[in-house]
Amino acid sequence: MGEGKPITAAVLVIGDEILSGRTQDVNVVTIARFLAELGIDLSEVRFVPDIEGEIVAAVNALKLRYTYLFTTGGIGPTHDDITSDAIGRAFGLPVEHNTEALALLAKRYTPQDFNERRQRMARMPRGAVLIKNSVSVAPGFQIGNVFVMAGVPKIMQAMLEDVRPRLTRGTKMISRSLTVRLPEGGIAAALAAIQDRHSEIAIGSYPFFGDSATGRSAGTMLVVRGRDEGAVARAAEEIAQLARSLGVEPEAVTDPR
Amino acid sequence: MGEGKPITAAVLVIGDEILSGRTQDVNVVTIARFLAELGIDLSEVRFVPDIEGEIVAAVNALKLRYTYLFTTGGIGPTHDDITSDAIGRAFGLPVEHNTEALALLAKRYTPQDFNERRQRMARMPRGAVLIKNSVSVAPGFQIGNVFVMAGVPKIMQAMLEDVRPRLTRGTKMISRSLTVRLPEGGIAAALAAIQDRHSEIAIGSYPFFGDSATGRSAGTMLVVRGRDEGAVARAAEEIAQLARSLGVEPEAVTDPR
Look up the ipTM and state it.
Answer: 0.94
CA distance linking residue B193 with residue B182, whole number of Å: 17
Interface test with B, best of A42, A51, A78 (most B CBs within 10 A): A78
Tens of pLDDT, residues A136-151: 889 999 999 999 999 9
Q: Whats the size of chain B, residue-wise?
A: 257
Whether A256 and chain B come into contact, CB under 8 Å, resolves to no
Tens of pLDDT, residues B200-246: 999 999 998 888 787 778 899 999 999 999 999 999 999 999 999 99
Give how far A70 is from chain B: nearest CA, Å: 14
Contact A242, A253 (CB under 8 A): no
Mean pLDDT of chain B: 94
In this predicted structure, the answer to whether residue B2 has a pLDDT above a threshold of 50 is no
Residues of chain B with CATH 3.30.70.1130: 174-253
CA distance linking residue B161 with residue B72, whole number of Å: 15
**Distance, CA of B220 to chain centre:** 25
Give the pLDDT mean for A191-214.
91
The CATH number of domain B7-166, selected from 3.40.980.10, 3.30.2320.50, 1.10.1740.110, 3.30.479.10:
3.40.980.10
Tens of pLDDT, residues B67-96: 999 999 999 999 999 999 999 999 999 999
Give how far B13 is from chain A: nearest CA, Å: 9
For every residue of B89-139, DSSP letters joined together read HHHT--EEE-HHHHHHHHHHS-TTT--HHHHGGGEEETT-EEE--SS-S--
Give the pLDDT band (50/70/90) at residue A240.
very high
Residues contacting residue B214 through CB under 8 Å, at least 6 positions apart: none
Identity of the residue numbered B41: D
CA distance linking residue B210 with residue B217, whole number of Å: 4
Contact A70, A10 (CB under 8 A): yes
Helix (H) or strand (E) holding B8: strand B7-14
Give the pLDDT mean for A199-217.
88
Helix (H) or strand (E) holding B180: strand B174-180
Q: Which chain B residues touch A207 with a CB distance below 8 Å? A: 76, 152
Give the pLDDT mean for A204-217.
85
CA distance linking residue B7 with residue B41, whole number of Å: 6
CATH 3.40.980.10 fits A8-166, yes or no: yes
pTM of the model: 0.94
Which chain B residue is nearest to residue A223, measuring alpha carbons? B17
Contact A148, A75 (CB under 8 A): yes
Which chain B residue is nearest to residue A20, measuring alpha carbons? B32
Q: Do B188 and A152 touch (CB under 8 A)?
A: no
For every residue of B197-221, DSSP letters joined together read H-TTSEEEEEEE--BTTTTBPPEEE
Q: Do B115 and A185 touch (CB under 8 A)?
A: yes
In this predicted structure, the answer to whether residue A47 has a pLDDT above a threshold of 70 is yes
Under CATH, what is the fold of the domain B174-253? Alpha-Beta Plaits (3.30.70)
In this predicted structure, the answer to whether residue B27 has a pLDDT above a threshold of 50 is yes
Give the pLDDT mean for B106-122.
94
Which chain B residue is nearest to residue A19, measuring alpha carbons? B42
Give how far A145 is from chain B: nearest CA, Å: 19
Residues of chain B with CATH 3.40.980.10: 7-166
Q: Do A192 and B78 touch (CB under 8 A)?
A: yes
Mean pLDDT of chain A: 94
